[in-house]
Each structure stands twice: as structure tokens, then as C-alpha cells.
Structure 1
Amino acid sequence: MLLIQLRKRGFQQWIYPRKMLLLLCAIAFAASAHQLSAQADLENSAAGKTVIYGKVHDKKGEPLIGVSLQVEGTYDGTITEFDGSFQFSTEAQGSARLIVSMFGFQNVEQDIVLSGNDSLSFDISFGKETLNLEEVVVSDVRQVQTTDKARATQLNRVEALTTAVDGNVQSAFQTMAGVQPTALAGGLFIRGGAGRESQAFVDGMLVDDFNYSSPSNTAGSARFSANMFKGSFLSTGGFSAKYGQAISGALILETTDVPLKSSADIGLSPLFAEAGFEKVNQKKNFSYGATGKYQNLGIFLRLMPTSMQFTEYPLTYEGTANFKWRPKEGTQVKTFASYGDSRLGLFNQDLDEASVLEHTKLRNRNLFWQSTFSHDLSNRWSLSGGAGYGRRQTDVNQFASNDEMTPLGEIFEVDEANTLSQARVNLSHRKKGQTLDVGAEVQHRSDVIQAGGISGTLNDTYGAAYAEKAGVLFGRLQGRAGLRLENSQLLEETTLSPRVNLNYLLGRDEQIFAGWGSFNQRPDTRQLYQENGQLNFERAQHYTLGYNRSTNKRSFRAEMYWKEYDKLVLFDTDLESARYANTGNGFARGLDVFYRDKTLHKGTDFWLTYSFVDAERRYAHFPIAAQPNFVANHVGNIVVKHFFQKQMVNLGMTYTMASGRPYFNPNRPVEEFHSDKTPAFHNVNFNIAYLPKTKKAFTVIVLTLYNAFNFNQTLNYEYSPTNFDVRRGVGPLTERYVFLGFFANFGIDRTDDIINQQLN
């Protein structure tokens, strides 16, 4: 019998809620309508297979739910049941490696020998966690036992890379329930919220802008590679009081730890070339690494039909460096820094005069650094935190020209610099299944803009403090109560935001959950420029009620929600002097459903998501309350992946459908604002990956086809400002495209990751 020691702080959630508001009716019908019977994964006597079974528990012997076990390089694996037990079989034979993982903990890799007609028993003990984020996020496709774990969506590194169209972690989550598909802007559009209303956090630290800036009606590429992160988690509402300045959702990411072996990577394609390394010392407690990437989309965009034309094809230079140190058990330090420089020039025909071309030239320079730490003060107390700095420099040139590219009139220039400095600390106490977290953070922002001879400067110091108590109330009822205090020097405002979540376990693999919370966010920087900072926090109230059932190979979740928006920034023409003011409001209500099944066929992973949202708001320049353009009432996704282990080939398909979105038609009267809708959105992506085995390198060859059936993807319309009978559709930059790439790693068998790397 093999004993794997992974130390973990045991914890359960506890709460004495001050206030619980539920506006939603029960969804018990979901449980009966979607009965997901628990099935034994595999038979012990299966011929030609090795059965792997056992239990996972903490150091006190209490069972752990949702721990992932997998034979590396295969899809053979499972997660632990309610009592901590697990059982699965594999057809693989010979020397192999068992990967045991759980979010917030360092992976354990155990060499094993598979005979094909035997069984292996494991007794696995979890101990100390590496990052105190567990109570904030968890999978909706895993066993769950706490409130946030029931409401957050998790993708590990393989799943994120298998689902993302462009390697961007955010695009992977566009196939998840509650998230709108979009190609016209960056960010995550969650449950009726705009892209800027969701924030990303890396190791607990806020990332001011996850993507590069982009021209109007285009989405910027990600500034961070999905390979940086061992876990990606999306909370679509009701997240922990530890996180603020987001009124729709939180994308929480955790970077990888000190690896077990040194390695080097290369990647080549017609689009880019990249290389990197990571060096580990002999004690395996310190590592350092660096990566470099050159990307030029010129060849790609010359061959693929595009909605715009280019004077300078998108070009990007990126470099990163990282240091990771684990001086002793229970202590870890991570430092990450990156620099990126991107530029492009594009143009489109003027709607009034075809001989006039409208040009945009854009350059982005991004510097990012952060250092984080976690340290056990004792068996019950731990301290974590970090510091970071980011700077984004954006230069934009806009002008009109004739067919010979000769400028007509003056060139309008915008130069903008945004910096964010921050520090954060969190103190945690755990005792007998109860947890208490108290913490604080401070951020200083500096925003400077020069546009058309006019300049503006904004400086803001933001501070926040929070306290959160979690654990078991009684029996199977668990919960969490938190309070977050926020202050902005620029806005001259202090707010107090309570958040409450409850979770009741119905049985070994199902639960119901409910939550309520208040959330605040600083207005858009451009609006603050206009009003010299004289605005207030925008606010939202979240109410949620849901049901979740999850077995080894099947998962089902349904969640109803209601969001009330208050103090949204509106250009209010009803005031004595028309200006931006916090007089806007709105709502979003709906239902999200997620279903995942791995029992259909050996090696096949299938999931289905559906979202219904009814949203309406009056904000920005809306003359009346209306459904925003970024909201489709119905969104569905089907994802199918199959891995042929003997051939080492992975096939995948993703189908996305969304109902038409409203758009502004200037021919309509004010009372019919946003009453027209675009055609329904359809998209099908196919991908294939081949993993040839070589002695010195682990390689993969990838082929991806986006929008395989060339569906028309009109997401909005642009009208001529002088002739409302003239318009053009606005959609993705490319109608469809083909990607071919080669990737290799030297030193570490990354087959488990590479299986789906760079796929959609």
C-alpha cells in the first residue's frame, strides 16, 4: 500500500447570517428532471485493465471530496466521492505516473507500474495547502461542500487550453453557463454585465487589464499565457469578501509552483515563435525561468478574409521572468514579471464616401510585476499577501485618408498612461472546521491622458478591509458571512458591503445553495476624466439560488439569479446641465444550467451549457432603459472531446449558439431604442492534435479550424451619421481561420497538458 503525504489545513464553513434575502423560488424540479444516477466507474475484474482504488483524507482522518486523480498522459482518472473514496481503471500498461491534485495544493506525482490485470490500493493524506484561495472558488464539475464551491466554475490547465480559441483563459470561459460569447471587446460579459464589470485576480492580486488594448469592435489578445496557471476559476456572482471592485464576476487564477524538474519549451507556427525554460535547484525548493515570444499575424491575415484591412499587421513582442522559492514546509514566495509591446494599423471605408478610408493605429506597452507569499505562523494561523505594480501605455492615432493613403486633415492623437501599485495581506485562522479570514489591501492608481491638445490626470488611493467567517452551522448546513469596507480618495466615498452564502448538503453528491451580497466598482476612467472624478461607486446586489449534483463522471448544476444595479453612470440629459452622473440603474435575472458527462464512451468528455438572461439597464448614453447590445437572451454551448490513447490523437468540437442581440437603429424613435436584433449567432470549431513520442522531447502538432461552416456572425451594425439608410454589419475580425502549430518540451513529460494545448 502506497502512502502519499499531502498536508492540508482542514476546514469547513461556519456562519451566523445577519441577513438572508431570497427573491427566487425553489428549483427542486431541476433535481427530479435531471436525475444523475451514481455509477461505479469500472469493474475490478475488467480484463486487460489495472484497477486503482483507495481513499483520500486529511491528516486528522476526515475524508476529502473532489480531489482529482489521473494517470498522466491519459484521460483515465476520477475524483473522490463524498466519503473520500475513489476507484477507476486504466488500459495503460508499464511505467506510468499518478497525478494527485487539488486546487490550492502542490501536485504530487507518484511513479507506478501498471500490469493490466492487477489492482493498486492507495491511502492518500492531504496536509498543508499552498495558497489560501480554496474557499473562494471551486469546480461546478466536481464534488462540492462549500457555498462558493457550488457557484464557481473551474477549469484546470488542460481544460482551459482545450476550450480556448486563442489560448486566452478568458475565451475558454465563454463556453461556460452565464458567460456571453463575444468577439467585439475584451473581458468576460457575465449575467447581463459589461466586460469591465468582471475583474481578474492572479494569486489574489488584482490585474488591472488582462488583455491588450484594442481598436473599436475588436477584442485584444491576452497578456498572460494559460500555461502560467495551474488553476482557473470563475465566479459568476456572490464571490468572497476578499475580492472587490467587480459588480458582475471574478476570474481567479493561481500560478504554478516550484516544478519537480528543469525543463525547456519551444513553439512554432506561421503566427508566432516562442521559447522558454525553467531551472530547478537540487533541493527542488527554488526555481527560476524566462520566456520570450514573437508574434506576427501578417501571413495569417493575408490568407484569411477579414472585415478590416491593415496598414500594419498585428505584431507583438513579449518577455516574462519568474522566481519561485519554498524555503521550508509551509512557506512559499513567488515573483513574476512581464513586458509586452504590441502594435497594429488598420482601416475601413467611410460609410458616406467609399474613396475615404478611416485609419486607426494603436500601440500598447505593458509592464507587470508582482510578488506574493504564504507562510504558516503555526498549525492554526497563516499569513499571506503580496505587492505588485503595473503600467499600461496606449498610443492611438486616428485619421482619414484617400485611396493613396494621403491623410485628409489633422491626425487625432490619444496618449494614455495607466499605473496601478498595490499591496495586500491576509491573516487566516482555522480550528475544528471553522475559518476566520481578516485582511486589507491598498491600491494607488494614476491615470494620465492627452487627447487633441487636452490633458487630464487622475490620482486615486483605494483602501479596503474585510473579515469573513466560514464553517458548519449544524448538521449538513454550512455557510459563510463576510463584510468588506472600501474607500476611494478620488470619489470621496466609503462603502460597507455585506455578503452571505448558505449551502446545504442533501446527500453524498448533491446540494442546494443560496446567497446574497453587495458589490461596488469604480466608474470607467474615461467617465471620471469627463467629471474630474466627481462620481461615486457603481453598485450591484446579487441574489442566487441553485442546485448541484455531481458524481464521478457526471455533473449537473442549475442556478437562478437576480441582480439589481444601482448608481450606474449615465449621461443624464434630465439634469440642469447634461453630464455624467450616478443616476443609472438596471437589473439582470435568469437561469444557468451546466451538464457534463464522461460516461458516454471511453476517452470522451461531453458538456452542455445553457443560459437564459433577461437584462435591462439605463446607463452610459442610453435614452431609456433597454437591453444592452452585449446581452443575448439565450446562449448554448456543446463541447465534445475524444482522446485516442493508442494513436495519441485528440479530437475536439465546440458548437456555440446565441440568440440575436439588440442594436441601435437611428431610424427608430427614442421609445424603440434597441428594439431591433441581429441574426442569431452560430459557431463551430474543430481541432485535432497528434502527440508523436520521441526519446528526447515531448511534442504535439496541432490543427484548429475556427467557424468551420463559415456562419455569418453579425454582432452589431454601424450606420452612416448622415444617411441612416446606409449601414454595415460588425462581426469578428476574421470570418474563419485555420491554425497549425508545433510545440515541444524538453525535461518534463507534459503530455497531460500538451494533449490539448492551443486547441479551441
Structure 2
Amino acid sequence: MKTQGQNILFLIFLMASIMGYSQVKITGKVSFKNKGVSEVNVTLKDTYDGTTTDAQGDFSFETSEKGTHIITFTHPKYENVERTISIENQDVSLNVDLKEQISEIDAVVVSAGSIEASDKKRATALLSPIDIYTTAGADGQISSALTYLPGVQKVGGTEGLFIRGGTGTESKIFMDGSLINNYFSNSVPGIAGRDQFNTSLFKGNIFSSGGYSALYGQALSGALMLESVDLPDQSSYSLGISPIFLSAGFQKLGDNKNYSYGATAGYSLLTLMQKIFNFNTDFVEAPQGLNGDLNFRFKTKSGGFFKYYGMFNSNKMGVRSESLEPGYDFSLVKLNGKNTFHNLSFKQKFGKYLLNVGGSYSYNRSDLHFSTETNDIESNKNQLLTDGNYLNFKAVVERKINRISALRGGFELNNTDENLNFEAVQKHYKDLISSAFLETDLGFSNALSAKIGVRAEHSSFLGKNNIAPRFAIAYRLAKDWTTSLAYGLFYQNPESKYINGPANLGFQKSQHYIFQVQRASEGRTLRFEAFYKKYDRLIKTFNVNEQTQTALNNNGYGYAKGVEFFWRDNKKTFENIDYWISYSYLDSKRDFLNYPVSLQPSFAAEHTLSAVAKRFIPEWKLGVNLSYTYAKGRPFYDIASTFENGKAINYTRNEGRLKDYNALNFSINYLPNIGKKDAKAFPVFVLSVSNILGSKNVYGYNFSADGSRSSAIVPPVNTFVFIGAFISFGVDKTDDAINNNL
């Protein structure tokens, strides 16, 4: 037995010795751009042998395998690598260079000039519908909420997005790719029209304050691209009640969850609020409006998606003010406005290609009646009647090249048919702008990408063409730091309201140069942006009368340059507090319209500062929101026209500077049914106060015909209080509200 045991023990030691002798060591280094990469999985294929690289990228392991084998190197951020090796009786050493794995999530995105709120993977996402509803002072309007972002001016006396020294008409708004020609409601001079589109209609937006995509055109300054919601999660009903409006709506989801339809209707009237508050504006006819909309969405069996949205709005108001002309007590203006908008879009994948087709129809009618009043007797009655029909059609085909590169192209048709009647001016303006565009996204690596595009347009009215190249590049400086650079040419037709007679006109032109540095991490965004815009071929006009200017030529020019800062901290530093701060410095001058020389535009403030803060208090079921805006006083001008030696001459009679703009706003939102799973209704009660401190802000001045008298253009009311309830039935969205600091 002893001899047998010794033999067995000898055999065990002999086999172990043979196995130890046959072990081969495999060593090496894994690098990316001459720098070692840690945590790379190194595996001998179809075996259990392998290891992981250390902090310097070195690896070492032993194997008893023999012959030809494949060794693999894998890491989530790099492409897989395979190497064939021959294992004999000698150790093996090899070094491997990795290639970066191109990823949609990790890839740097060109962001110069734009802020996006449609892709949740991007830390720069801003201004979701909940963001807009909970921004105090925004009144639930997208355009108002954007004034709390860098680059957008708070003008007040007229509607539109005034971006980086541009007029309100130099920015355009799109829905699912199609142009909205009547985004704002009709109004009277000195009072800005409101957004006509419900904020909850849109699931996201891309706001570009410059250097926007070649897919869009006819905007010298910027573009707002809105994306409407898809199919709802479930059927629901809604009701809105306040002292100034009543609204109701529903959304019905099909049983197979492949289609939905819905509608809303609302009525607003300001009479009650006039009796409560001390209005600056004397409304002889209180503002009132009737609106409604329809929507239909359908998903095809092949994966296509149809969306339809239709809207109708009518509004009325009448304003009386002290007359600036001698011999009259008051000036009166009355409005009767009507709008309708229809949008149909279709999206479908065909193999490697994605087709987007959309069209929109807009109708706008503004009926303004001007008169004077003396001893309660009206006289000097005039009517300014404008109506327009607008058709837009766009088709875009996109093909993915790889995960972060794509090529897209298409064409767009935009037809305008307008009529205007006012005193001696009667016109019928027609124009068809035909456009073609091509654009590519180039992802060179996760740290470097570019966007190159070109757009060409032809205007039937002008009888001229343009070609607009655009370019942007982005580079990741470090883990959370990126930088972007953008350049582009942008063209826009002269505004039709100034085309009242024969004139040799062409496209207006602007060039954008934008440089941005941004740090974006989860919950925090910091960005600096510098820009320069050069304007050429701006139109020059001559005053026909108090209400009408007529275009003379394209001899205008100008510039806008500045720097912007934005910081947002979403519940990272302070518990349940989301806040952001933005600052803009703008240096701008223009010689355009009826300006006699190059001047700082009356809509451009040199310094603008905004701050927004939101806090949700769970134990009170309460959201508290604050916002503040400061803007350096803007210049104002009283410009008159005359003829000298048969030549039109513009000259400044009066000029000055407005007082600085200040407004502190406050709102609270109470959600009583949070957490009540058996609740049948989910109300949100809202109380908001705009301009709490009652600052007497001034938007500009009106002047008499001879320039000797003036009156300030001011908000209809200095401080406004709104209270209302919004109730949803069938769907509980309070969790979304909590997560977004409602």
C-alpha cells in the first residue's frame, strides 16, 4: 500500500510539472492614440483564459493552449479587435491599438447657436412644456419663456422673437418642419399679439439663435423648430377655468393604440379683470377671443406616421387713447381678427431611407379701424384691412451613413398671396419661393463632428436666386467640455408690408459667425457663446403716412455682435430647486427702413439679465416659481420723411433712451391629488403675479404728426394677477409635474 501511494503521488507531481512546464505567458499593451487603456477585456477565444488591462493598459495571463488561436480585445467605448497568434513553447508578446467606437450617445453634437429640448439624452435639453408652464411671467407661452434665455430681447410693444439685434420678423417658427405664417394672434399697435398655439401640443423644441440648419430659410436671425406630440398614452379629458377664460378638450386613443384624435375649444374675455385692476390701456372693447383646434394621428402597419393639426382663432378689441393731434380728444383703434392654420405631416422609413413630408396652410385676416373722437363724436375714419393666404410644402429624404453620420436633402415651396387696403394704398402681393437644400452630418469620432449644408432659393416676386452655404464643427475638449464653431449665409425677402410700389429689390442678407464653449453634465449646463452678424442689402423705406412705409431700395446695412452666458442647475446643488441664469451683451447698429443714418436699433438692449428659480415642496404639494428680468434702456426715435430736390430724405426729429426694464414675477402651483391612486380628477391650481413690484416699464413712444407731442407705449397693466384651475380626467400627469419642478 505504501508503494502504491508513493506511485500515485509521483504521478500527480509529474503531471503538475508537465502542465506547469507547458504553460505559456501572453503579455502586451493596449493603447489608444499612444495612451494605455484600462479595463479592456483580453480573452483567448473559445477558452476560459484571459484577463483585464491595468491602469497603464498592460496585460498578462498564462495558458496551456497550443497552436493557432484568436485573442480578442473588447471595451464598450472602442471597436472590438481580434488578433491571430501562434502558441508554442515560448511566451507571446503583442501590442494593440484600439479604434474609438462611434456612438450616438457619446458623440459630440454641434450646438453653436442652438438649444434643444427634444432629445432627453442630451444634457443641454431645456424648455420642455412643463418648463414653460412653470416659468413665472411666461404666461404659458413658448415665445415668452424664450425671453428668459440668452440672445432673446424683451421688447413688449409688439410680438415676435427679437434675436441678437434682429427684428421680430427676422425669426421664423416651424411645426413638424412646416412654416407657421401666423403663429401670433392679431393685435393693435402697441400691444403684442399672443401665441395662438397651445404649449402642450408640442413635445419638444429646438431654438436656434443663429447658424441654423440648411433645412430652414427665410430668416435673417434665428429659427424655432417645434415638434408636435405623437400618440397619447391613454384617453383623457381636460378642463381649464379662470376669470378670463374657459377651455375644454379631450384626447381619444384607439383600442389598438395605433391612432388617436382630439379637440379643444376655448373662450376668453378680459372684462372682469378690467374692473379689478387699474389698467394703463383704456379698452373701449375688452379683448375677447374664441378658439378651437382638432388633431388626428395615425400609425400605419408599415411603421409610417400621419399627423394632422387644425386651428381656428378669432379675436376682437378696441383701444382709446388721448389724441396727440390738436382739435381731437381721443384716438380710437378697433380690431377684428381671424386666423386659421392646418398642418399635415407624414414620416416613413423605406429601408435605409427616412422620408419626411409635410405641408401647412395659414390664413390671416386683420381688420383695423382708426378714428378720432371729439365730444363723443367719431370722425376721420380709416380702415386698414389685410388678409393673406399662405401655403408651405416640404419634403426631406435622409439616409444614415453610420451611427452618427447622415445625409439629407429635399425641397420646399412657400407661396404667399396677400391683399392690403388702406387709404390710397391698395395692393395684391404674390410670391412663390422655391427652395432646395442638401446637408450632411459627419461624425469623424466621438470627439469630433461637423455639419455642412447648402440652401438655394428662387423668389418669383423678386425674380432672383440665392445660394446659402452653412458650416458648423464641434470638438470635445474633455469629458464634459465641448466647443463649437458655426458660420452661415442667410437670406430673406423684404417684408411685404413695405412693398407698396415699384422698386428694384433683392434678398436681404446676413452672415453669422458663432463660437461656443459648453460644459454639460447630468443636471448642470454652463455655456459661453460669442457671435458676430453682418447685415447687407437691408431695405430702406420712406414714410408715406403715419401707418405706411414704402420700400425704396436694398442699400441698408448693419451689424450685431456680443457675448452670452447661460448657467442651469437642475436640483444638483440645492434639493428640489431648479434654477438658471442668463446674461447677454449686445452691440448693434443698423441703417435700414427709414433710419437716416446708422443707429442702435430701437429693439436692441445692450445688457439683458434673466434669472429663473423653481422649487417643489412635496409635503405641501406646492410648486413655487420666481423669475426676474433686467434690460438696459433701449433707444427710441421719432423719424420723419420729406422730399428735397425730388429725393426722399429721412431725418430724426426726436430721440432719447427708455428707462431700464425691470420685472419680478411669481407663481405657485398646487396639486392636491398627488399620490391619490383612486382619484378620478387631477387638478392643478395656479396663482401667478407678473411684475410684483409694480415697475412702470415703458416700451417706446408715439409722436404726433409734427413731432411736438408724445405718449408712452406701456403694458396694458403694470401688475397682473392670474388665478385658474386646470383639471385632467383619465390620466394622472402629476408625477411628470413633480419631476419637472411644477
Question: TM tier, shorter chain?
Answer: 0.7 to 0.9
Deviation of 1:554 after TM superposition, in Å, equals 1.5
- Does structure 1 residue 661 correspond to structure 2 residue 644? no
Structure with higher RCO (Cα < 8 A, 6+ apart): 1
Q: Map 1:544-559; keep pairs closer than 5 Å.
A: 544-559=514-529
- Does structure 1 residue 275 correspond to structure 2 residue 248? yes
Residues 506 and 654 from structure 1, CA distance in 2 versus in 1: closer, same or farther, beyond 3 angstroms? same
Using the alignment, how far apart are the partners of 2:202 and 2:382 within structure 1? Answer: 39
- Asked if the contact 2:182–2:363 (Cα under 8 Å) also holds between the matched residues in 1, the reply is no
Using the alignment, how far apart are the partners of 1:285 and 1:674 within structure 2? Answer: 62
Deviation of 1:421 after TM superposition, in Å, equals 1.1
Deviation of 1:306 after TM superposition, in Å, equals 2.2
Superposed CA RMSD: 3.0
Cα offsets for 1:578-626 (capped at 9, x unmatched) = 9521110000000011001132321101100000000000111100000
Q: 1:719 aligns with which of 664, 680, 703?
A: 703
- Does structure 1 residue 515 correspond to structure 2 residue 486? yes
Q: Find the counterpart in structure 2 of residue 564 from structure 1.
A: 534
Q: Map 1:431-580; keep pairs closer than 5 Å.
A: 431-432=401-402, 433-452=404-423, 454-474=425-445, 476-528=447-499, 530-532=500-502, 534-571=504-541, 580=552
Q: 1:396 aligns with which of 357, 362, 368?
A: 368
The residue type equivalent to 1:718 in the other structure is N
Using the alignment, how far apart are the partners of 1:631 and 1:424 within structure 2? Answer: 33
Which structure: larger Rg? 2
Deviation of 1:56 after TM superposition, in Å, equals 13
Q: Map 1:162-241; keep pairs closer than 5 Å.
A: 162-163=134-135, 165-241=138-214
The residue type equivalent to 2:440 in the other structure is K
- Does structure 1 residue 737 correspond to structure 2 residue 720? yes
The residue type equivalent to 2:165 in the other structure is G
The residue type equivalent to 1:566 in the other structure is D
The residue type equivalent to 2:434 in the other structure is G
Residues 604 and 267 from structure 1, CA distance in 2 versus in 1: closer, same or farther, beyond 3 angstroms? same
Q: Which has the higher strand share?
A: 2
Residues 135 and 287 from structure 1, CA distance in 2 versus in 1: closer, same or farther, beyond 3 angstroms? farther
Q: Find the counterpart in structure 1 of residue 6 from structure 2.
A: none
- Does structure 1 residue 687 correspond to structure 2 residue 675? no
Using the alignment, how far apart are the partners of 2:686 and 2:485 within structure 1? Answer: 42
Aligned length: 626
- Asked if the contact 1:388–1:423 (Cα under 8 Å) also holds between the matched residues in 2, the reply is yes
- Asked if the contact 2:112–2:515 (Cα under 8 Å) also holds between the matched residues in 1, the reply is no
Using the alignment, how far apart are the partners of 2:401 and 2:458 within structure 1? Answer: 32
Secondary structure of the structure 2 residue equivalent to 1:491: coil
Q: Find the counterpart in structure 2 of residue 699 from structure 1.
A: 683
Secondary structure of the structure 2 residue equivalent to 1:333: strand
Deviation of 1:756 after TM superposition, in Å, equals 11
Gaps of 5+ in 1: 1-54, 66-81, 85-102, 104-132
Using the alignment, how far apart are the partners of 1:507 and 1:514 within structure 2? Answer: 17
Using the alignment, how far apart are the partners of 1:298 and 1:225 within structure 2? Answer: 23
Using the alignment, how far apart are the partners of 1:560 and 1:336 within structure 2? Answer: 38
The residue type equivalent to 1:391 in the other structure is Y
Using the alignment, how far apart are the partners of 1:277 and 1:641 within structure 2? Answer: 29
- Does structure 1 residue 430 correspond to structure 2 residue 389? no
- Does structure 1 residue 646 correspond to structure 2 residue 623? no
Runs of 4 or more consecutive aligned structure 1 residues displaced over 4 Å after TM superposition: 60-64, 133-138, 140-145, 352-355, 669-675, 752-759
- Does structure 1 residue 585 correspond to structure 2 residue 557? yes
Q: Find the counterpart in structure 1 of residue 26 from structure 2.
A: none
Residues 64 and 390 from structure 1, CA distance in 2 versus in 1: closer, same or farther, beyond 3 angstroms? same
Using the alignment, how far apart are the partners of 2:669 and 2:635 within structure 1? Answer: 38
Cα offsets for 1:619-668 (capped at 9, x unmatched) = 1110000001100000000111100123220001001000010011579x
Deviation of 1:363 after TM superposition, in Å, equals 1.1
Cα offsets for 1:481-507 (capped at 9, x unmatched) = 100010110110110000000100112
Cα offsets for 1:400-458 (capped at 9, x unmatched) = 01242x2123x101221111112110000002232000110112110011222642101
- Asked if the contact 1:167–1:758 (Cα under 8 Å) also holds between the matched residues in 2, the reply is no
Using the alignment, how far apart are the partners of 2:119 and 2:295 within structure 1? Answer: 31
Using the alignment, how far apart are the partners of 1:459 and 1:671 within structure 2? Answer: 32
Q: 1:385 aligns with which of 343, 354, 357?
A: 357
Deviation of 1:308 after TM superposition, in Å, equals 1.9
Secondary structure of the structure 1 residue equivalent to 2:152: coil
- Asked if the contact 1:267–1:742 (Cα under 8 Å) also holds between the matched residues in 2, the reply is yes
Cα offsets for 1:452-472 (capped at 9, x unmatched) = 264210111111000001122
- Asked if the contact 1:501–1:513 (Cα under 8 Å) also holds between the matched residues in 2, the reply is yes
- Does structure 1 residue 334 correspond to structure 2 residue 318? no
Q: Find the counterpart in structure 1 of residue 130 from structure 2.
A: 158
Using the alignment, how far apart are the partners of 2:389 and 2:603 within structure 1? Answer: 28
Using the alignment, how far apart are the partners of 2:371 and 2:501 within structure 1? Answer: 27
Secondary structure of the structure 2 residue equivalent to 1:159: helix
- Asked if the contact 1:169–1:232 (Cα under 8 Å) also holds between the matched residues in 2, the reply is no
Using the alignment, how far apart are the partners of 1:560 and 1:210 within structure 2? Answer: 29
Secondary structure of the structure 2 residue equivalent to 1:495: strand
- Does structure 1 residue 678 correspond to structure 2 residue 658? yes
Q: Find the counterpart in structure 1 of residue 321 from structure 2.
A: 348
- Asked if the contact 1:642–1:650 (Cα under 8 Å) also holds between the matched residues in 2, the reply is yes
Deviation of 1:297 after TM superposition, in Å, equals 1.1
Q: Please, which moves more after superposition, 609-618 or 209-218? A: 209-218
Q: Find the counterpart in structure 2 of residue 99 from structure 1.
A: none
Residues 709 and 737 from structure 1, CA distance in 2 versus in 1: closer, same or farther, beyond 3 angstroms? same
- Asked if the contact 1:285–1:327 (Cα under 8 Å) also holds between the matched residues in 2, the reply is yes
Percent of paired sites with the same residue: 29
Gaps of 5+ in 2: 1-75, 79-99, 544-549, 641-648
- Asked if the contact 1:665–1:676 (Cα under 8 Å) also holds between the matched residues in 2, the reply is no
Residues 527 and 758 from structure 1, CA distance in 2 versus in 1: closer, same or farther, beyond 3 angstroms? farther
Cα offsets for 1:62-101 (capped at 9, x unmatched) = 7554xxxxxxxxxxxxxxxx599xxxxxxxxxxxxxxxxx
Q: Find the counterpart in structure 1 of residue 278 from structure 2.
A: 305
The residue type equivalent to 2:680 in the other structure is K
Q: Map 1:123-162; keep pairs closer than 5 Å.
A: 138-139=115-116, 154-162=126-134
Q: Find the counterpart in structure 1 of residue 23 from structure 2.
A: none
Q: 1:728 aligns with which of 692, 704, 711?
A: 711
Cα offsets for 1:291-328 (capped at 9, x unmatched) = 00001111112322222211211110001000001123
TM-score of the two chains, using structure 2 as the length reference: 0.80
The residue type equivalent to 1:748 in the other structure is V
Residues 673 and 565 from structure 1, CA distance in 2 versus in 1: closer, same or farther, beyond 3 angstroms? farther
Residues 612 and 310 from structure 1, CA distance in 2 versus in 1: closer, same or farther, beyond 3 angstroms? same
Q: 2:693 aligns with which of 703, 706, 709?
A: 709
Q: Find the counterpart in structure 2 of residue 13 from structure 1.
A: none
Secondary structure of the structure 1 residue equivalent to 2:131: helix
The residue type equivalent to 1:139 in the other structure is E
- Does structure 1 residue 609 correspond to structure 2 residue 582? yes
Cα offsets for 1:200-239 (capped at 9, x unmatched) = 0000000012101211111001111101111122100000
TM-score of the two chains, using structure 1 as the length reference: 0.78
- Asked if the contact 2:131–2:740 (Cα under 8 Å) also holds between the matched residues in 1, the reply is no
Secondary structure of the structure 1 residue equivalent to 2:162: coil
Secondary structure of the structure 1 residue equivalent to 2:619: coil
- Asked if the contact 2:114–2:209 (Cα under 8 Å) also holds between the matched residues in 1, the reply is no
Deviation of 1:138 after TM superposition, in Å, equals 4.6
Deviation of 1:61 after TM superposition, in Å, equals 9.4
Cα offsets for 1:563-589 (capped at 9, x unmatched) = 00111111279xxxx952111000000
Q: Please, which moves more after superposition, 542-551 or 749-758? A: 749-758
